[in-house]
A = this chain, B = another copy of it.
Amino acid sequence: MSAKPAFSVSLSTILEKFRDKFPVPPEKWEGYTSRFKRIQVPAKTILLREGEISKKAYLIEKGCLRVWFDNKGDEVTFQFFFENSTVSSIESFKKGTPSLFSLETIEPCTLWWIDKTDVDSMLEEVSEIASMRNQIMNTLFERTLHYMKHFLSFVRDTPQERYENLLNQQPYIVQRIPQHYIASYLGISRVHLSRIKNKLARGK
């Protein structure tokens, strides 16, 4: 153990956190993890551009990303990702279609990436195992629910309520992410978000 080079220790330490998301059999683990490559990129790096075809999936060791798309000239931020998350443009990665979104770092990031071909072969193997299968299905199902609920909050809540929910449920987003990204994430203008904050500051 202590004989291993520092780099290898770091790799396995970080990737351990993703075992639930890449649920491979123990004896395969080493073979798969070796296919991940570590990179460091500055803030505002575009990892995938809207319209390109996604060939890589990322794990975030450090930093955060946003997923956004161009809407008639202005950027609409759609999702944020932080440490210990896996990120890709899922529809493009899975189906090989042009991505609907861009993937861009917000902070300087340390990332691990893996090629689609490796993910595919891995999935093919592990899906022979019922428990792994269920794990994968569950992950996908939860993502479905996530989109469903996120959508619901748009239909159900006012912008102010959405902001308050964000503050309560994911305060780290408000803390780490520049406000104009949050505004577009909430579906409102920067000015309006400013107004909402102001209103809340003066006791509702």
CB-defined interface of A56-83 with B at 8 Å, one 1/0 digit per residue?
A: 0000000000000101000010100000
Contacts of A94 in B (CB 8 A): 141
A7 within 8 A of B: no
> How many copies of the chain does the oligomer comprise?
2
Nearest CB of chain B from residue A2's CB, rounded to whole Å:
42
| Whole-angstrom CA separation of A140 from B134 in the bound complex | 13
Nearest CB of chain B from residue A126's CB, rounded to whole Å:
12
Main secondary structure on chain A at its contact with chain B?
helix
| Whole-angstrom CA separation of A140 from B94 in the bound complex | 13
Contacts of A133 in B (CB 8 A): 127, 133
9-residue interface stretch from A10-18, A21-29, A41-49, A150-158: A150-158
A137 within 8 A of B: yes
Query: B100–A152 contact, CB under 8 A?
Result: yes
A3 within 8 A of B: no
Nearest B residue to A157, CB-CB: B71
| Whole-angstrom CA separation of A27 from B127 in the bound complex | 24
Name which of A91, A133, A148 has the most chain B CB atoms within 10 A of its CB.
Answer: A148
A residues at B contact (CB < 8 Å):
69, 71, 76, 78, 90-91, 94, 100, 127-128, 130, 133, 136-137, 140-141, 143-145, 147-148, 150-152, 154-156, 187
